[in-house]
Amino acid sequence: MSISESEENVYDVSAIQDKWLPIWDELRPFASGKEGDTRPKKYVLDMFPYPSGDLHMGHAEAYALGDVISRYWVQRGFNVMHPIGWDAFGLPAENAAIKRGLDPRGWTYDNIEQQRSSMRRYACSFDWDRVIRTCDPLYYRWNQWLFLEFYNKGLAYRKNSMVNWCPSCQTVLANEQVVGGLCERCDSVVTKKALTQWFFKVTEYADRLLDDLDTLEGNWPSKVISMQRNWIGRSYGADVEFEIEGRTEPVTVYTTRPDTLYGATFMVVAADAALAAELVSDSSPAIQAEFATYLEKVKQSNDIERLSTEREKTGIFTGRYAINPVNGERLPIWAADYVLADYGHGAIMAVPAHDQRDWDFARTFDLPIRQVVDTGEGDPNTLGFATVGDGVLVNSGDLNGLSKTEAIAKMTQILEGKGKGKAAKNFRLRDWLISRQRYWGTPIPIIHCDSCGEVPVPADQLPVELPSAEGLDLSPKGTSPLGGAADWVNVSCPKCGAAAKRDTDTMDTFVDSSWYFLRFLSPNSTEVAFDLEQAKQWAPVDQYVGGVTHAILHLLYARFFTKVLHDLGYVDFEEPFTRLLNQGMVLMNGSAMSKSRGNLVRLSEQLDEHGVDAIRLTMAFAGPPEDDIDWADVSPAGSAKFLARAWRLANDVSSSVGVDFKTGDKAVRKAVHSFLRDFGHNIETFKFNVGVAKIMELVNVLRKAVDTGVGAADPAVREGVEEIAKAISLFAPYTAEDMWAQLGHQPGVALATFASVDESLLVESSIVAVVQVDGKLRDKFEVAVDITEEALREQALASDAVQRAIGDKTIANVIVRAPKLVNIATK
RNA sequence: GCCGAAGUGGCGAAAUGGCAGACGCGGAGCACUCAAAAUGCUUUUCCGAAAGGAGUGCGGGUUCAAGUCCCGCCUUCGGCACCA
């Protein structure tokens, strides 16, 4: 081989990348929504990134996998919309701005440009005509519009509540920013603070959010469905009314165990609930003082203490008594912090015999424990723990002898008859706190007027644009930085014209991402949030791809928004994401990559070293997409080697474009078409690693065919290599495009549809039958596919190896599954 | 504590109840080369020279046949966690 020949034959990754990028810019193969496109639609969506810097390995995995799906459907002849945008509001921009004394805008838009350019190099199949950035007024104006739609429907409201507070950052934190009781950013211990905040009424949709999960079964990872079910946490039980001595109004408690009402020996109210303070206010000064001290301690407590499992129960006696509605017993009322103010009614009936927490409390304060369910384990008084299982009711009047389930039903009935209670349900889910005392977010479009109260900003005055950050103190101080923008805050009331002030809070960025998938339908509209006709055509999202970190919050909120939009008549579906794929994480040496761990792998360096295609292929081939990839365990060099091997094959093909494949070698064609059949199935079931393996197998078959078989000129070889180029295009678009060109085609392999499977080529005339003796493989031989059971049985028994294995044992049974298998069972 | 998922070669992993380990990484060997790289080919679960035997976390079960189904454990990972 001469030197010049060998140079032609070298797979030069960077040259290929440089060659095709500008051509694709011209070609724009992934523009969607052109007039008159008759292809069936498919909406494929990757979770949009936060512009925190350049793309990292995690993005590289997510977008590689999303691209496999998106490109696959294009090549199956679908009109695919695969848009991208940026979730561009949020704390990191603000923190960077504070640190450098800059406007968060500059930092954000710079990062977006960097990520956009990296995505182009990474050959993401995005439709670049549909880009959105949530920090554009063009976008967040519609957050405000939606907020007002929610507000008008009573789904957005303001209330005072205890929220997470970081004493060091001087700001409220979202639940997701509290990690193990510590502030995500500064590791300070998070405490609680009472503040008036905006909420969205997610709880009103709790039943539907839970029940509709059933419709996602099979199309969403079961893990995500069960996490959402747990998070919503519906429980069934009863509300029970207790008269309180010296109080006109009864107190209602929620219980899942109304059957144990005869076992109630005391009542507990949440120490930080209004009820506790009220009850104590009529007690002795000594109790009032004790309560005040206790309440102070409770307010100081933090999640670290709360999370401790060994924690002793604490509480104080309020000096008040409740009356058990079924037996008239006087129950002392305690205030404690193990009862939550914001769940149920903030008060419980304590049944220490059958609830471990009540048992612990009873033991700490020497309160009676009365068994009312015999579970067969014994008396909780002497057992040392509460018995919570099923059993037979005792010491319970009319309930005696009933099972737990029967007793729950009967007690509920009794209470309803007496007007002392009713069946009830409760949710773990709380309303969504959306206000943030932060600058870099969507301003809440409400004006506070002394005489008119909360006044929505009129629709024609939207958007309420963020004032310039210039001159504003963005540093955390417990109130929103927007409060410092006097010109912006002070307005006249839209209703009465008097002096009024804007709401200075901004919205949680999860609001932005709760409906962005609809904005892609008409990304630049100044008339509507999203075009209703376009929504009919494209939505809902057929395939959503993203990390499992968003399994609860983002997906729950987006589902909530969709249901609200449905009820408002804007969309005709109730679930936003028909199918969901969660990709795993990219690790290095067993743990998540981070600078502080010193195990950070830089995407840009990987791309420089191995090429875009090899990295993308490695992401897909490493294993099942939902599994984590440990970068130390995979071989981008191996991927590059395979791509070069496939590429050389295109180089070798010597037949010309348009040659009649039907004249090609049958055996090779059979391999090609059985590949086509398997590959499509693998991709559609997300077995990308297996799909890649199938391509490798076909490449190996064709390499052999070229070198030692039918030769490079056989039409079947061209047929095979063309399909390989198309298949590789899902993973390695540069290599595929270059192969396509070598094969003599015009640019645009990404739009080349797969050949349909020729079933006639797959019909087998013979097959290898296996013979087992007692389940163990003993022989195999080729037989005709239509061999009769008798003939196969005879042939199996005639085998020397089989006879050797049977030896002197007696044959008990012979199972024949013609033509594939014979199993001989001996005694 | 509650809910869920997963345990298969040296490694990443395949396997509609029907040949365990496809495909790849790594290893070994051969060819090409003055040589190396690259490439191509062969081989690679373990024990055994071989015949053969063992083998999918552990213990049972169903079945002609179990990595796969059922029961009971163990381990690892993820989520929730005083939710009455």
DSSP assignment string, A732-747: -HHHHHHHHHHTTPPS
Task: Give the per-residue pLDDT at A6.
Answer: 40
Peptide bond into A494 cis (omega under 30): no
Distance of C1' in B4 from CA in A428, Å? 18
Distance of C1' in B27 from CA in A383, Å? 61
d(CA A672, CA A702): 9
Give me the sign of the Cα torsion angle A407, A413, A414, A415.
positive
Distance of C1' in B70 from CA in A501, Å? 68
How many other CB atoms are there within 10 angstroms of residue A41's CB atom? 16
Q: What is the pLDDT of residues A406-448, one digit of tens each?
A: 999 999 999 999 999 999 999 999 999 899 888 999 999 999 9
d(CA A351, CA A329): 13
Which nt sits closest to A227, CA to C1'? B79
Q: Look at residue A722 and tell me whether its pLDDT is greater than 70.
A: yes
Task: Give the per-residue pLDDT at A5.
Answer: 39
Taking alpha carbons only, the member of A241, A421, A268, A240 closest to residue A332 is A268
Which nt sits closest to A341, CA to C1'? B83
Instruction: Tell me the mean pLDDT in the region A272-279.
Output: 94
Q: Which two tokens stand for residue A501?
A: 């002030």
* B81 closest protein residue (CA to C1'): A307
Distance of C1' in B81 from CA in A307, Å? 8
d(CA A734, CA A172): 47
Distance of C1' in B50 from CA in A794, Å? 30
d(CA A826, CA A396): 62
**CA count, 13 A, side-chain hemisphere, A309:** 1
Instruction: Tell me the mean pLDDT in the region A489-512.
Output: 96
Distance of C1' in B53 from CA in A768, Å? 25
Taking alpha carbons only, the member of A544, A468, A479 closest to residue A506 is A479
Distance of C1' in B14 from CA in A744, Å? 35
d(CA A791, CA A813): 16
Instruction: Tell me the mean pLDDT in the region A59-76.
Output: 97
Distance of C1' in B33 from CA in A6, Å? 15
Provide the residue type at A705 as one letter. A
Taking alpha carbons only, the member of A654, A625, A546 closest to residue A47 is A546
Q: Which two tokens stand for residue A343?
A: 């769940």
What is the number of H-type helices and E-type strands within chain A? Answer: 28, 34
Which nt sits closest to A584, CA to C1'? B78
* B13 closest protein residue (CA to C1'): A623
d(CA A184, CA A156): 27
Which nt sits closest to A350, CA to C1'? B84
Which nt sits closest to A429, CA to C1'? B83
Q: What are A336's strand-pairing partners?
A: A270, A315
Which nt sits closest to A629, CA to C1'? B12
Instruction: Tell me the mean pLDDT in the region A45-54.
Output: 95
Task: Give the per-residue pLDDT at A595.
Answer: 83
Q: Look at residue A552 and tell me whether its pLDDT is greater than 60.
A: yes
Which nt sits closest to A10, CA to C1'? B38
Task: Give the per-residue pLDDT at A7.
Answer: 45
Q: Could you tell me whether strands A79-81 and A499-502 are parallel, antiparallel, or unpaired per DSSP bridges?
A: unpaired
Q: Which two tokens stand for residue A26?
A: 């011209």
Which nt sits closest to A768, CA to C1'? B19
Which nt sits closest to A342, CA to C1'? B83
Instruction: Tell me the mean pLDDT in the region A539-552.
Output: 92
* B6 closest protein residue (CA to C1'): A627
Distance of C1' in B17 from CA in A639, Å? 35
Q: Could you tell me whether strands A41-46 and A541-547 are parallel, antiparallel, or unpaired per DSSP bridges?
A: parallel
* B11 closest protein residue (CA to C1'): A633
**Residue A644 — pLDDT band, cuts 50, 70, 90?**
very high
Please give the residue that has the higher pLDDT: either A240 or A98.
Answer: A240
* B79 closest protein residue (CA to C1'): A227
Which nt sits closest to A225, CA to C1'? B4
Q: Is residue A552 within 8 Å of A227, Cβ to Cβ? A: yes
* B82 closest protein residue (CA to C1'): A338
Distance of C1' in B77 from CA in A553, Å? 21
Distance of C1' in B65 from CA in A818, Å? 15
Distance of C1' in B32 from CA in A629, Å? 37
Task: Give the per-residue pLDDT at A310.
Answer: 60
Q: Could you tell me whether strands A373-374 and A315-323 are parallel, antiparallel, or unpaired per DSSP bridges?
A: unpaired
Contacts of A594 (CB under 8 A, 6+ apart): A600
Q: pTM for the full model?
A: 0.94
Q: Report the share of chain A in percent with pLDDT over 70.
A: 97
Residue A197's H or E segment, with its range, is strand A191-200
Residue A331's H or E segment, with its range, is strand A330-336
Could you give phi then psi for residue A95, rounded to 5 degrees?
-65, -40
Chain B bases under 7 Å from protein CB?
3-5, 11-15, 18-20, 22-26, 38-41, 52-54, 64-66, 78-84
Distance of C1' in B13 from CA in A693, Å? 11
Burial of A374 (0-12, 13-18, 19+ CB in 10 A): middle
d(CA A102, CA A81): 36
Could you tell me the CA-to-CA distances from A779 to A802, A819, A824 in Å, in that order?
A: 7, 14, 12
Distance of C1' in B66 from CA in A776, Å? 13
Report chain A's mean pLDDT, rounded to a whole number: 92
Task: Give the per-residue pLDDT at A563.
Answer: 98
Can you list the positions of beta strands (E) in A450-489?
453-456
d(CA A131, CA A82): 10
**Residue A673 — pLDDT band, cuts 50, 70, 90?**
very high
Distance of C1' in B2 from CA in A42, Å? 39
Q: What is the pLDDT of residues A737-795, one digit of tens each?
A: 999 999 999 999 999 999 999 999 998 888 888 999 888 888 888 889 889 999 999 99
d(CA A813, CA A826): 7
* B33 closest protein residue (CA to C1'): A1
* B3 closest protein residue (CA to C1'): A230
Of A116-130, A456-470, A475-489, the range with the lowest mean pLDDT is: A475-489
Tell how far CA A596 is from the center of its chain: 27
Q: Could you tell me whether strands A234-244 and A629-630 are parallel, antiparallel, or unpaired per DSSP bridges?
A: unpaired
Go through A56-93 and write b for each residue having 16 or more CB atoms within 10 A of its CB, e for each that does not: bbbbbbbbbbbbbbbbbbbbbebbbbbbbbbbbbbbbb
Could you tell me the CA-to-CA distances from A507 to A147, A444, A503, A558 in Å, in that order?
A: 9, 6, 11, 15
Of A174-178, A282-286, A650-654, the range with the lowest mean pLDDT is: A174-178
Q: Look at residue A166 and tell me whether its pLDDT is greater than 80.
A: no
**Residue A72 — pLDDT band, cuts 50, 70, 90?**
very high
Distance of C1' in B52 from CA in A621, Å? 38
Q: What is the pLDDT of residues A90-118, one digit of tens each?
A: 988 988 888 888 889 999 999 999 999 99
Which nt sits closest to A337, CA to C1'? B82
* B39 closest protein residue (CA to C1'): A645
Q: Is residue A479 within 8 Å of A504, Cβ to Cβ? A: yes
Q: What are A780's strand-pairing partners?
A: A770
Q: Look at residue A576 and tell me whether its pLDDT is greater than 90.
A: yes
Of A4-13, A202-211, A353-362, A571-580, the range with the lowest mean pLDDT is: A4-13
Place of tokens 């932060």: A438
* CA-atom Rg of chain A in angstroms: 34
